[in-house]
A and B are shown apart, each in its own frame.
Chain A
Amino acid sequence: MPTYSFMLNGEQVQVDAPGDLSVLWALRDKLGVTGPKYGCGINVCKACTSHLDGKAFNPCVTNVRDVAGREVTTIEGLAKGDALHPVQEAWLEQDVAQCGFCQPGQIMAAVALLRRTPNPTDADIDAIENVCRCGSYFRIRQAIKAAAAKMAEPTVVAVQDPAAVSEGGGSSLAATGLGVDVAALGAAALGAAALVTRALDTADVAPAEG
Chain B
Amino acid sequence: MTAPDLPPSRRRFLTYLVATPTLALAVNAGLLEEPAGAVIPTPPQVAELEDLGDFLIQAGKPTEGKLIVLDVSTAGKVTCALPREEVGQGITTAVAMIIADEMDVPLSDVTVTLADARPELLFNQLTGGSNTIRSVFEPTRQAAATAKARLVAAAAQRTGVPQSRLQVLDGIVVGGGHTIPIGELSAAAASPQLKVAQPTPKDPATYRLVGRPQNRKDAREMVTGQFKYTNDHEPVKGLLRAMVRRPPTINATVKAIQNEAAIRAMPGIRGIHVIQTGVAVLADTFGQALDAKEALEVTWNAGTVDDQNDETVKQALRQVNLPMTPALGTVVEGEFDFAFANHAPMETNTAIADMTANGGTVWAGMKSPIVAAQTIEDDLGLPRGSVTAHVVQGGGSFGRRLFFDAALEAARISRAAGKPVKLMWTRVDDMRHGRARAASHHLVQASIIAGEVVALQHHVASIETDFRHGLGEVLTATGTQLGNPDIIPVSAGGNASFSQSVFATTITSPYNFGATSQLLNESSLKFHTGSFRSVYSANTRGAEEIIVDEIAKALGQDPVAFRLAHLKDPRYVAVLTTCAELGEWGKKLAAGFAQGIGFHAEYKSCTACLVEMDARNPKNPRVTAAAIVADYGLPINPRGAESQLLGGLTDAIGTTLRAGLHIDKGLALEGSYSQFHFPRQKDSPREVKIHIMPATTGAPGGGGELGLPAAVGAVANAYARATGTAPRSFPIIFPVDFTPFTKNTGSTRVQPR
Contacts and interface: CB of A to CB of B under 8 A. Distances in A.
Contacts of A138: 646, 684-688
A134 B396 contact: yes
Given A34-B228, A84-B224, A21 B287 contact: yes
B241 A29 contact: yes
Interface string A95-112: 111111111100100000
B242 to A, nearest CB: 12
Contacts of B130: none
Contacts of B175: none
Nearest to B224: A79
Contact of B224 (A39, A62, A76, A98): A76
B222 A100 contact: yes
B747 A107 contact: no
A61 B639 CA distance: 37
Nearest to B394: A99
A42 interface: yes
A47 B682 CA distance: 17
A40 B673 contact: yes
Interface string A62-96: 11001100000011101100001000100111011
B225 A35 contact: yes
Contacts of B90: 98
Contact of B346 (A37, A61, A84, A88): A37
Contact of A91 (B89, B223, B290, B396): B223
A46 B401 CA distance: 22
A92 B220 contact: yes
Given A21-B288, A43-B750, A102-B346, A131 B680 contact: yes
Contact of B647 (A75, A135, A140): A135
Contacts of A42: 427, 672, 674, 745-748
B650 interface: yes
Contact of A129 (B88, B227, B648, B680): B680
Report, as a range, how many residues of chain B touch the other chain: 35 or more
Interface string A119-159: 00010011111111111111111000000000000000000
A98 B223 contact: no
A30 B285 contact: yes
A76 B752 contact: no
Interface in B710-753: 745-753
Interface in B670-692: 672-674, 678-682, 684-688
A139 B222 CA distance: 15
A174 interface: no
B88 A29 contact: no
B284 interface: yes
A95 B643 contact: yes
Contacts of B348: 38-39
Contact of A74 (B87, B225, B344, B396): B225
B753 A55 contact: yes
- Most chain A CB within 10 A, of B220, B346, B649, B751, is at B346
Contact of B749 (A20, A67, A93): A20
Contacts of A114: none
A126 to B, nearest CB: 4
Interface stretch (B58-66, B211-219, B257-265, B384-392): B211-219
A92 B223 contact: yes
Contacts of A88: 223-224
B654 to A, nearest CB: 8
B231 A38 contact: yes
Contact of A127 (B223, B288, B344, B682): B682
Report, as a range, how many residues of chain A touch the other chain: 35 or more
Contact of B219 (A62, A74, A91): A91
Given A39-B427, A45-B427, A92-B223, A22 B284 contact: no
Contact of A22 (B87, B215, B287): B287
A98 B747 contact: no
A180 to B, nearest CB: 19
B351 interface: no
Interface in B635-664: 639, 643, 646-651
Contacts of A74: 225
Contacts of B119: none
A41 B746 CA distance: 8
The main secondary structure of chain A at its interface with chain B is loop
B672 A40 contact: yes
B424 interface: yes
A45 B750 CA distance: 15
Contact of B427 (A28, A41, A95): A41
Nearest to B424: A38
Contact of B223 (A107, A132, A137): A107
A128 B224 contact: no
B672 A99 contact: no
A97 B222 contact: yes
A133 B345 contact: yes
B306 interface: no
B681 to A, nearest CB: 5
A10 to B, nearest CB: 14
A29 B286 CA distance: 7
A84 B224 CA distance: 8
A183 B24 CA distance: 76
B398 interface: yes
A165 interface: no
Contact of A101 (B229, B234, B648): B229
Contacts of B684: 135, 137-138, 141
A20 B347 CA distance: 24
Interface string B623-635: 0000000000000
B395 to A, nearest CB: 3
B267 interface: yes
Nearest to A53: B752
Contacts of B679: 135, 137
A184 interface: no
B5 interface: no
Contacts of B747: 41-42
A34 B290 CA distance: 18
A39 B672 CA distance: 9
B267 A101 contact: no
13 contacts: A38-B231, A39-B348, A88-B224, A91-B219, A92-B223, A97-B223, A98-B88, A104-B222, A126-B681, A129-B681, A136-B650, A137-B684, A209-B753
Given A61-B748, A102-B346, 6 more contacts: A38-B424, A42-B746, A76-B224, A92-B219, A97-B216, A135-B648
Interface of B: 87-90, 215-216, 218-220, 222-229, 231-232, 234, 241, 267-268, 284-288, 290, 344-348, 394-398, 424, 426-427, 639, 643, 646-651, 672-674, 678-682, 684-688, 745-753
> Nearest 4 pairs between A and B by C-beta?
A135-B650, A35-B225, A99-B88, A101-B395
Interface of A: 1, 17-18, 20-22, 24-26, 28-30, 32, 34-45, 47, 52, 55, 57, 61-63, 66-67, 74-76, 78-79, 84, 88, 91-93, 95-104, 107, 122, 125-141, 209-210
